[in-house]
Amino acid sequence: MSSGGSESPSQGTTVHGSPMSNESSQDRREVRRESHKKVEQRRRERAKECFDELRTLLPTNFEIKPDKNSILLATIEHLRTMQQQISAERTQSQIHAQQTAMMAAAASQMQPLVEYRAAFHLCDRAMALVGADASFWDINDAFCSMIGYADAELKSLSIMNVLHPGDIDSFLSLAKSLLDINNPSPNAMFDCKILSKGGHHVLCRMELNALRKDNAPHCFSINFIPM
């Protein structure tokens, strides 16, 4: 026992700033360093795995094992190429969609014409579409049967070739008056003789309907009614 009643620290007791306290701090720092090293090692290993996998996915053929920068640059170039391809495919798809829509619209507009042509050719009345120059534009089957010509034969002729010579002047005069834009009535009837391919005459009544386009003479729709 010391004088004055004070006691000295017993042997082995830890006191702040003692060697034992310093050793504990060093141990903790060492543990943290080791833990950080392990985390960093795992990060580097994972990064290496990712770069290796990325290298195998790239279409680029590397002559030697590339470094990380080469892999990243090749990846950027590949992504740019893919982006351009996707953009081109999207543009092509849009063009195709527009073309499809235009074709559908055109088909819709042509449907009445298709139906008209079907009715024209199936009609049992002899009919022809004749241009302002008197050439045959279209002929239905009934007219072909009436005068014995094939469709292709008539389309190489004009109506003057099948009209009786005595009716040509009357037809020309009537056609001229019908195509006159000042004529209030574009319709007229005309009795005439049609020459068949066999050489005999077919007496018929011709119903002429003058058709104008953009306020100008265009063609005739003609019905031939045997008499």
Residue 91 banded pLDDT, cuts 50, 70, 90? confident
Q: Does residue 127 carry a pLDDT above 80?
A: yes
pLDDT (average), residues 120-134? 84
The sheet with strand 201-213 has its strands ordered as: 136-139, 126-131, 216-226, 201-213, 187-195
More confident residue, 156 or 184: 156
Q: Does residue 178 carry a pLDDT above 60?
A: yes
Residue 29 banded pLDDT, cuts 50, 70, 90? confident
Q: Does residue 14 carry a pLDDT above 50?
A: no
On average, the pLDDT of the chain sits at 79
More confident residue, 96 or 56: 56
Predicted TM-score (pTM) of this structure: 0.48
Q: For the chain, how many residues are written?
A: 227
Residue 12 banded pLDDT, cuts 50, 70, 90? very low
More confident residue, 3 or 152: 152
